[in-house]
Amino acid sequence: MKHYQYEVIVVGGGHAGCEAALAAARRGAKTLLITSNIDNIALMPCNPSIGGPGKGHVVREIDALGGEMAKNTDKATLHLRRLNTSKGPAMWALRAQVDKKIYSQEMIHTLQIQENLDLKQEMVTRLIVEDQRVKGVRVKSGLEFSSATVILTAGTFLNGLIYIGEIVYSAGRAGEIASIDLAENLKELGFKIGRLNTCTPPRLDRRTVDFSSLEEQKSADIPLAFSLENEGKIYSDFSVFMTRTNQKTHQIIQNNINRVPFYNGTIQSVSTRYCPSIEAKIIRFPEKNSHQLFLEPEGYNTEEIYLQGFFTSLPPDTQEEALRTLRGLEKAKIIRYGYAIEYDIIYPHQLKYSLETKMIKGLFLAGQINGTSGYEEAAEQGLIAGLNAVQLLSGKEPLILDRSEAYIAVEIDDLVTKGITEPYRLRTGLAEYRLLLRQDNADLRLTPYGYKLGLISRERYKKFLKKKELIEQEKRRLKKVIIPPTEEVNSSLTNKLHTAPLSGMVTLATLLSRPEVTYDQIASLDPDRPELPREVAEQVEIQIKYEGYIKRQEIQVKRFRKLENYKIPQNIDYSGLRGISHEGREKFSQIQPLSLGQAKRIPGISPADITALMINVEKIKKQASA
Amino acid sequence: MGEEDSEHIKMKFGENDTIAAISTPPGESGIGIVRLSGPKAMRIAQKVFRDKRFSKVDIEKFPSHTAHYGLIVDPRHQEIIDEAILILMKKPKTYTREDVVEFDCHGGILSLKRVLEVLINSGARIAEPGEFTKRAFLSGRIDLSQAEAVIDLIQAKSESSRKASLAQLEGGLKKKITTLRGKLVEIFAEIEAPLDFPDQEIEELSEIKLQKRLEEILKEVTTLLATLDYGKILSEGVNTVIIGKTNVGKSSLFNTLLKEERAIVTPLPGTTRDTLEELVNIKGVIFRLIDTAGLKNPENLVEEISLQRRGNFLAKADLILAMFEVSSQLSEEDKEIIQEINQARERNQKVIIVENKIDLKEELEREKLLELLNIKDSVRISLKAHRGIDKLEEELSNAVLQGLVIPPDGVIINNVRQAEALKRAKKGLEYALEGVNRKMPYDLLSIDLKDSLDALGEITGDSINEEIINHIFSRFCIGK
């Protein structure tokens, strides 16, 4: 059998696979991406949108680390909004509706023209593993490809099963073949396998929807972009529309609930609470008379409309019947029915922070295979796995961020430390230090890492340093310029800015810290203000306005870091440690925590176990130094 | 957040902070020790220590392992708190291998607590239970076999201490904190829920409701915080020393107060139950009643020791019951006692004057006694005829409860650690309320509410804060 020599093999061409392959190839590793259907690379099998609270933050982080998702989104955007603008800056988020086809095609082309990267349409059937080290993969045609690292991004393909009403069949996604051999192989290798499921809504024929009666949500009227490398744009060709379920809809679903695989016992696996099916919403919240639904465009060259919020595995006839009770959808025709898909995952506590498996050296896992849901969550894992595969090849330390640095780190820490009980979805609520993890400062937080790892160009890094300097300069200036409480100033404050007059001298910074006052507004009191790029002004405004909160959050981070920096030696035989409960020992040896902070976050670990662990660690350290 | 607060918090969680604790050997001499350990020990001691001429001294210049007599002052208003012997022990030859300063003080529990507070206000952090031992271990001062013994104790500890703390909190503190925390968690969740799901039409909490609910919790936290002094008295007992000339009836009073059918409270850990000292519950307040010998000149070693003990007890008394008899004129011994009383009053100790033997013919020049003591009235009793005892008991409990906050629901806190956690919870609530008033977006409020939640959780053990490490040796007595 002929052998092919690669340094990194990526299995799967979804959002995780794309970022992994690009990151590895861009860092100079000889990389191969194998996927069962090249046309379906970067496919969006569910919603045609990128971003939202938490997720949008991650897209910005991917951009700052030199990943592709933000740039690719900007190429395919149809409609772009800023969410949560009435909330604090930690909550602000971008969400784009994208053209699915363009998104996929652009990504395919980016992969095709990437140096060091080969694409191959093949189905991987097994991993080649010797002495707990990965050596390559074997594909259905019998070929073997060898490589010191393999990144598995199998998505929903492992033993995938599609459910629509009473119908069940094997599939990786609608219309694609499931990976059964590979799933079997992973089980044989000894991985602990779990099973999750997720739902997708029906796609409607645009021509059969009456938009005239529906509420319209327009794209933002200011120029926006996900990637910092792109100029903002205003999009006006497409809108999102809203409709609502009603009592009739609920009644129809209720009447057919026994035909839903989740409710008649056909599906036993776990679904996420954060993206509930329409039938789950109706059963769980019977007091709610109505649920919002969104009609989202799927692209320029398609008449398909995505019905956000109507995730379902109802039988096709019921889907049709229920839809027609909705305003504007009275005559709607379904092009693709909603369905549920159930798939194998590898429980992520079997991973290191680098996303390498603890059991098999060189094998990395990223994306839905780790129990997450969402394109963005998958993409960032792919990026981290790609980066760390190359770090491993070159004998360097992996990139491990902590929870106070990035959403990426929050997600990976949650996965490897807390494990999975339902499909994992990022939310801002998961980030303890979210005021520091804003989408607007993702570049400030992470560009240095991207640059150091070679994914951010020198030119972009220089621009970044310049931006940082401008921000600091302007902050210093605002803290120095003093505004006297003259009559003129006070009349301007009360009449134009609708804020309280001054009783004494204040700096511009103090004035700006009033919640109702904006940076733009005080321009009239600030004749010497320099001309600054919009994103610099935005940073200055946020950093000054929320300074008190940011400082308090930084104090919380310091407390957090103390335990994170308390390192626990690896390869401890926990079964031999005294004073730790049986359960504690089991969990510690399963997770192999890197720090006392991580140990503390393991669910079910008692304070006594932590203290006993610390004493043992002190003892081990002392013996090591003796 | 003020500069001071952040400085305080930084110090609190910094690597090398300086810790302080009361470490009085239970049931022994009248001397209480407050101990400082850490890199700033000498600097902090410097701030509060004066020599007997009230001048500052350069502590760092003292040789290691030397003792120095002087005063402890509150540097904020230069008020004298206690006299003390400062013992300086420079690193590394100390228990913790850090700089250690000890203050051997005379005052009772309340006065020791004030010394501790002054040290904390000057930059020290209150030590966790057993933290001195923990530092000793971490600095290698204790060897591995000792450490292993500690490990073995931990599992046992978690069970027994759980029981102990449950018992301690049975008065309702845990229930109360859990309720307060539950209310906060609810608010937290209501603030958070709409944030991540902007499309899901979750109703936002109104500002007025939020403010009202936060204020409610803040009020309860504040009230609870104010119960500290009362709580300490309830749990430790009021050191009450009976003095008076020979045969004035001290032992009778002691026995009378004990003989009442009220149950003698469970002995506190470490309480030595000798014949001179008993715990007694009078009108809900626990008194540690101490009988003393008279003031006659010691004739042998035993009497000399006895006299010394009396002095020690007197020095650490929270309350002094001074007895005179109406059946005779003021003796020399009485006059010495009057002097002692006046000195005690200068040390802010409370004194109740008891005139005994009112069943006998009155010989005492009462006006003169009251004048010498500069008081208007006294409690007049007859132990023999059992008259005035009720009144005395009332006086006793009034003297203690005066100026203390007694919670209507009976829930109290009784140690400084709980108070520190409550203070943090309070601060977080205040910040959150300030945020509501300034119309800050709700997501920012959760930063402060989280601090409050963590702080409350520390009291009940629900949240393990970063200080969890410090719980390691908590089965050891505080201070060592």
pLDDT tens digits, one per residue of A164-183: 998 999 999 989 999 999 99
Residue B257 has what pLDDT?
Answer: 84
Say yes or no to pLDDT of A162 above 90: yes
Architecture of domain B231-401: 3-Layer(aba) Sandwich (3.40)
Say yes or no to pLDDT of B119 above 50: yes
Tens-digit pLDDT profile for residues A475-526 = 999 999 999 999 999 999 999 888 999 999 999 999 999 888 999 999 989 9
Residue A626 has what pLDDT?
Answer: 66
Question: Which residues contact residue A274 at a Cβ distance below 8 angstroms, ignoring those fewer than 6 apart?
Answer: A425, A427, B197
Residues B422/B428/B430/B431 CA torsion (nearest 10 deg): 160
- Let me know: does A408 contact A380? Beta carbons within 8 Å: yes
Residue B413 has what pLDDT?
Answer: 75
- φ/ψ of B67, rounded to 5, equals -115, 145
Mean pLDDT of all residues belonging to chain A: 93
Question: Which residues contact residue A244 at a Cβ distance below 8 angstroms, ignoring those fewer than 6 apart?
Answer: A290, A291, A292, A293, A326, A327
A3-197+342-452 in CATH: which number? 3.50.50.60
Question: Which residues contact residue A188 at a Cβ distance below 8 angstroms, ignoring those fewer than 6 apart?
Answer: none
List the single best residue of A552, A610, A622 to mutate versus B (max B Cβ within 10 A): A552
Residues of B in contact with A566 (CB under 8 A): 469
- Let me know: does A188 contact A359? Beta carbons within 8 Å: no
- Cβ-defined contact of A83 to B1 (cutoff 8 Å): no
- Cβ-defined contact of A91 to B466 (cutoff 8 Å): no
- Cβ-defined contact of B441 to A86 (cutoff 8 Å): yes
- What average pLDDT does this structure show over B311-319? 84
Tens-digit pLDDT profile for residues A54-71 = 999 999 999 999 999 999
Residues of A in contact with B195 (CB under 8 A): 53, 84, 87, 91, 428-429
Q: State the DSSP string of A263-325.
A: TTTS--SB--SSS--HHHHHHH-TT----EEEEEE--TT--EEEEET------HHHHHHHHTT
d(CA B95, CA B136): 6
The minimum CA-CA distance between B197 and chain A, rounded to whole Å, is 8
- The secondary element (H helix, E strand) that includes residue B101 is strand B100-105
- Let me know: does A173 contact A343? Beta carbons within 8 Å: no
Q: What percent of chain B has pLDDT over 90?
A: 22
SS3 (DSSP) at B205: coil
Tens-digit pLDDT profile for residues B94-111 = 878 889 999 988 766 667
d(CA B453, CA B459): 10
List the single best residue of A285, A516, A549 to mutate versus B (max B Cβ within 10 A): A549
B3-127 in CATH: which number? 3.30.1360.120
Joined tokens for residue B59: 């502590």
Residue B192 has what pLDDT?
Answer: 82
Chain A within 8 Å of B50 (Cβ-Cβ)?
Answer: no
Q: What percent of chain A has pLDDT over 90?
A: 82
Tens-digit pLDDT profile for residues A371-403 = 999 999 999 999 999 999 999 999 999 999 999
Architecture of domain A203-339: Beta Barrel (2.40)
Residue B146 has what pLDDT?
Answer: 53
Of all residues in chain A, the one with the smallest CA distance to B428 is A552
Helix residue spans in B19-108 (DSSP H): 41-48
Write the residue in B1, B447, B472 that is nearest to A614 by C-beta.
B472
Of all residues in chain B, the one with the smallest CA distance to A308 is B199
Tens-digit pLDDT profile for residues A73-124 = 999 999 999 998 888 999 999 999 999 999 999 999 999 999 999 999 999 9
Chain A, chain B: beta-carbon pairs less than 8 Å apart: 126
Spans of all domains in chain B = 3-127, 231-401
Residues of A in contact with B431 (CB under 8 A): 552
Peptide bond just before B92 cis, omega within 30 deg: yes
Question: Which CATH entry fits the domain spanning A566-625: 1.10.150.570, 1.10.3720.10, 3.40.50.2000, 3.90.1150.10?
Answer: 1.10.150.570
Looking up tokens 């005239």 gives: A212
Say yes or no to pLDDT of A361 above 50: yes
Say yes or no to pLDDT of B198 above 70: no
ipTM exceeding 0.90?
Answer: no
Full strand arrangement of the beta sheet holding A93-98: A49-51, A93-98, A77-83
Write the residue in A546, A556, A578 that is nearest to B444 by C-beta.
A546
- Let me know: does B127 contact B120? Beta carbons within 8 Å: no
A247 C-beta neighbours (distance < 10 Å), count: 11
Spans of all domains in chain A = 3-197+342-452, 203-339, 478-550, 566-625
- Let me know: does A122 contact A36? Beta carbons within 8 Å: yes
List the single best residue of B135, B157, B443, B459 to mutate versus A (max A Cβ within 10 A): B443
| B248-257, B401-410, B469-478: range with lowest mean pLDDT | B469-478
Residue B196 pLDDT class (50, 70, 90 cuts)? confident
- What average pLDDT does this structure show over B68-79? 86
- Cβ-defined contact of B148 to A616 (cutoff 8 Å): no
d(CA A112, CA A118): 7
- Cβ-defined contact of A53 to B443 (cutoff 8 Å): no
- Which amino acid type is present at position A378? A
Task: Note the Cα B275 to chain centre separation in Å.
Answer: 25
Say yes or no to pLDDT of B144 above 80: no
Say yes or no to pLDDT of A153 above 50: yes
Tens-digit pLDDT profile for residues B438-452 = 888 899 998 999 899
Residues of B in contact with A428 (CB under 8 A): 195-196, 443
CATH 1.10.10.1800 at A478-550, yes or no: yes
The minimum CA-CA distance between B410 and chain A, rounded to whole Å, is 29
